[in-house]
Amino acid sequence: MGLRDEFGTIARYFAPLSAGAPGAFGLTNDAAVIPPDGEQGLVTTIDALVEGVHFLPDDPADLVARKLLRTNLSDLAAMGAKPESYLLTMALDKARDESWIASFAAGLAADQAQYAVVLLGGDTVSTPGPMTLSLAAFGRVPGQTVLERGTAKPGDSIYVSGTIGDGALGLLVRQSRLTGLAERDRAFLELRYRLPEPRTTLGPALLGLATACLDVSDGLVADLGHIAENSGLGVELRSDAIPLSEAAQTVLGDDPDLLPLLLTGGDDYELAFTLAPEDAGALEALARETGTAVTCIGRTVEAPGVVVLDRDARPLALAGSGWTHF
């Protein structure tokens, strides 16, 4: 309610995105039906993005849409859930014209195809302020078993998927605060910031193997701090074990002082998880099967907190353990 020609916009751009979900009723009803799927549990999460806080006003609409969806799919993956559907709210300012909405919907359509998810419903309203978006995503797990962040055991190995720090560097690139990069590295890092790749295959495969799991959105150190605190233990990382992309290695070669940023910056959307050391072989097999790189970066310890050791096993001083949005 409230948006000019809300019904026309919904019918034209959003109703087609609900085509695969009979329970969405073509977005014509007050609500949507999610049918039961045997004994499978439904997992749900919600995130909000604010223009100027979580994305920039001139970010392409299709990438904003895809990042909004993907950050939620990353939350589902962190719980071991296979994504299925989503709800969307958009508070749009008057500057958003139909072409912006068309591009936004096209971004959603692309990711719906890539991740096999479908739009169930939503709400579009107008706002005098920055555009504000929220998305609630739904996924399935067999039974009620999910991956949690507070269930790591002492002596577990700590792993991350993919590479860490690209999102933080991509944001610097985007803000023109990191210049002089080769075009290939610049494009790679910016894309990693704008278009995270949620680990939707790895996450569900970790059910029954990982002892704890979350997605790295607030920064590796802060997020491992969540695992530590919620599990009642500590974590010890080896900085030289943390997997970096070629682009990040190049940047770090030029300016080694950026290491703390890589470890504490956000927007990685990789999975960080723990498992018993004896399950390392099973994990490696699974990583091959799912085509996802995983790297052991440390272990859980009894002393609380997060310690990062440098290559000489001396604790690194980290200015901040969390992430402050621009």
Among the listed residues 15, 16, 41, 142, the single contact to a copy of itself using CB under 8 A: 41
Tokens of 101: 């909405």
Tokens of 203: 């996450």
Position 264, amino acid:
T
- Check residue 42 for interaction with a copy of itself (CB under 8 A): yes
Shorter beta-carbon distance to a copy of itself: residue 87 or 261: 87
CA–centroid distance for 70 within its chain? 6
Among the listed residues 1, 113, 313, 319, the single contact to a copy of itself using CB under 8 A: 1
Distance between CA atoms of 88 and 58, rounded to whole angstroms?
21
- Check residue 125 for interaction with a copy of itself (CB under 8 A): yes
- Check residue 199 for interaction with a copy of itself (CB under 8 A): no
Q: Kindly tell me the burial class for residue 175, based on how many C-beta atoms sit within 10 Å of its own C-beta (0-12, 13-18, 19 or more).
A: exposed
Q: What is the CA radius of gyration of the chain?
A: 20
40 by DSSP, 3-state: which? coil
Give, in order, the Cα–Cα distances in Å from 162 to each of 58, 71, 213. Answer: 28, 16, 15
- Check residue 79 for interaction with a copy of itself (CB under 8 A): yes
> Of the ranges 37-45, 56-64, 276-284, 303-311, which one interacts with a copy of itself (CB under 8 A)?
37-45
Buried b (16+ CB within 10 A) or exposed e, 48-82: ebebeebbeeeeebbbbbbbbbbbbbbbbbbbbbb
- Check residue 84 for interaction with a copy of itself (CB under 8 A): no
Strands 234-238, 305-309: pairing is: parallel
Minimum separation from the CB atom of position 60 to a copy of itself (A): 21
> Of the ranges 21-29, 156-164, 232-240, 282-290, which one interacts with a copy of itself (CB under 8 A)?
21-29
- Check residue 16 for interaction with a copy of itself (CB under 8 A): no
Per-residue DSSP letter, 14: I
The tally of CA atoms less than 13 A away on the side-chain side of residue 57 is: 6
Q: Of 206-265, which residues contact a copy of itself (CB under 8 A)?
A: 214-215, 217-218, 226, 230
> Of the ranges 48-56, 103-111, 238-246, 282-290, which one interacts with a copy of itself (CB under 8 A)?
48-56
- Check residue 205 for interaction with a copy of itself (CB under 8 A): no
Minimum separation from the CB atom of position 322 to a copy of itself (A): 9
Position 55, amino acid:
F
Binding site for a copy of itself (CB under 8 A): 1-2, 23, 25, 28-50, 52-54, 74-76, 78-79, 81, 87-91, 120-123, 125-130, 132, 134, 136, 139, 141, 144, 146, 148-150, 214-215, 217-218, 226, 230, 266, 323, 325
